[in-house]
Chains A and B, each alone.
Chain A
């Protein structure tokens, strides 16, 4: 069984500040981990994924995430927030049979001017 916990349902940052969105996972098998972004009234778009090739993963729009097995974490970061980053972000884990993704509850990112 797998699960994902996203710490903080709402994160607010100033434009230009560091973005840190937290994700911890639980998995009984080696996990594949994903971050998705959802802009208002749209579907989910893949930001980045960890598939065991490298622990530091770079994604689109300047985001990156680091897989830390000892901490069972996969936190998402961006050095400098932009207004266009305002969206909801979902962490997800896969690794069980039939490639099902289990999602966290999401973190809404607000960027203040």
Chain B
């Protein structure tokens, strides 16, 4: 019972480098989400995918792109990393229904220098 798996767990990038954060869930959930967590800011939604084949912007989408590869996988890409993107990134998924709540991955800690 893996739930939501995120890779990598840690990453250090130089300014301007690109990378993709991977997320996969094995619960047959329809909806998937990417959040970033910064001290004192709580979790802020970057992008989400309500169902396979759809993606939409959240609260803080600038500097990011996403791909819903299939029902299981939802990746987050930083095309040109900036120090302001230093954060902890969480992927989450839920069955389609507002009362289910989310299942979260364990996070990716990204540092951009």
Contacts and interface: CB of A to CB of B under 8 A. Distances in A.
Interface string B92-104: 1010111111111
A112 B100 CA distance: 34
Contacts of A95: 98
Contacts, number: 63
B97 A44 contact: no
A28 B42 CA distance: 21
A103 B43 contact: yes
A42 B88 CA distance: 10
Contacts of B56: 98
Interface in B54-113: 56, 58, 90, 92, 94, 96-107
B106 A99 contact: no
Interface string B36-54: 0000111111001010000
Contact-size category for A? 20 to 34
B43 A51 contact: no
A46 interface: yes
Nearest to B50: A98
Contacts of A103: 35, 42-44
A44 B104 contact: yes
Nearest to A42: B106
A100 B45 contact: yes
A100 B22 CA distance: 20
Nearest to A98: B50
Interface of A: 9, 32, 34, 36, 42-46, 49, 51-52, 90, 94-95, 98-106
Given A36-B104, A44-B90, A95-B98, 7 more contacts: A43-B106, A43-B107, A44-B92, A100-B33, A100-B48, A101-B101, A106-B42
28 contacts: A9-B40, A32-B98, A34-B101, A36-B104, A42-B106, A42-B107, A43-B104, A43-B106, A44-B43, A44-B90, A44-B102, A44-B104, A46-B101, A49-B99, A49-B101, A52-B99, A90-B42, A98-B48, A98-B50, A99-B31, A99-B50, A100-B33, A101-B101, A101-B102, A103-B44, A105-B41, A106-B40, A106-B42
